[in-house]
A and B are shown apart, each in its own frame.
Chain A
Amino acid sequence: MATTKLGFIVQRPGYKSENPKLALTHAIASQSVEIYLNEGDLVTADIAFIGEGVLNCKKDQKAMETYDLSSTESHIKMALLLDLNVLVCREDLERYGMTENDIVIDAEEFGADMTVKVVPYAEITKMMEEMNHLLFF
């Protein structure tokens, strides 16, 4: 039994590019990776939003209403529902004049227990150290 830990680091804002959303959909795919692994083996996904990437976490996104497109916000909520660890850099939120009140924090409406963790960049560095591989988006 072994575990490979992947760190998904989102550093760019969304919608102009699909990359932040692909980070989330690929991280969410960790929930079905077992079909490619031996019993007991795991691939886990932690997600961190840093730099301009924190702008992906703004709540009240209306992408469905405007472009008939699932929002990045809804993917973050899905990640929470699937118990993925989602970190948001506190310093970068502050840099863009945002607080925890401005971003998606939970997915209570879906019954998710997990919440977004707003943490200092040092915590994200620690997470990156703990990962086997890093994927920057």
Chain B
Amino acid sequence: MGKLTIGCFASLVGSLNLDFAVKLSAAAMEKGHKVDLWVSGNGTMISIEEQRPFKDYSSLEKPLKELMDKGLNVTACEACAEARGYHDSNTLKGVKRFSMDWYLGSTFDADRVLHIGGE
């Protein structure tokens, strides 16, 4: 089995880019792959705890927690998070926060990298 690193730089609640990243992570893990998920830019919003679920918006806290329990490695860009007022104190338990070099470090031994960037 291999390792997949996903970098997701987009986006806020209402966009489905993060949903795509989470669903792809789940599918890869189901097939036995190790998955690192790096979120940066607006994508760091996934790291905030206690987002209230509404049916008009996607809510990823529950699937993210379930995947992290199964070994999904989620790390948020610390500077991107802090710039948005997302602090350690309101970060979802299990989500790590590091500087950007963590993402590059994760790609070092990744068999595949999917970078979900531009908007």
Contact = CB atoms under 8 A, between A and B. Distances in A.
A137 B107 CA distance: 16
B108 interface: yes
A4 B101 CA distance: 13
A6 B118 CA distance: 17
B110 A133 contact: yes
B118 A43 contact: no
Interface in B62-110: 80, 99-110
Interface centre among B104, B106, B118 (most CB of A within 10 A): B104
Contacts, number: 77
Interface residues of B, number: 23
B117 A136 contact: yes
A62 B92 CA distance: 38
Nearest to A16: B119
A32 interface: yes
Interface string A24-41: 011011101101110001
A72 to B, nearest CB: 14
A102 B119 CA distance: 26
A4 B108 contact: yes
A19 B41 contact: yes
Nearest to B112: A133
Contacts of A133: 107, 110, 112-113, 115
A18 interface: yes
Contacts of A19: 9, 41, 117-119
The 3 closest A-B pairs by CB, nearest first: A36-B105, A29-B100, A135-B115
8 contacts: A4-B109, A19-B41, A19-B119, A32-B99, A134-B115, A135-B7, A137-B9, A137-B118
Interface of A: 2, 4, 6, 11-12, 17-19, 22-23, 25-26, 28-30, 32-33, 35-37, 41, 43, 45, 132-137
Given A11-B118, A26-B40, A36-B108, 6 more contacts: A4-B108, A6-B113, A17-B118, A19-B119, A41-B108, A136-B115
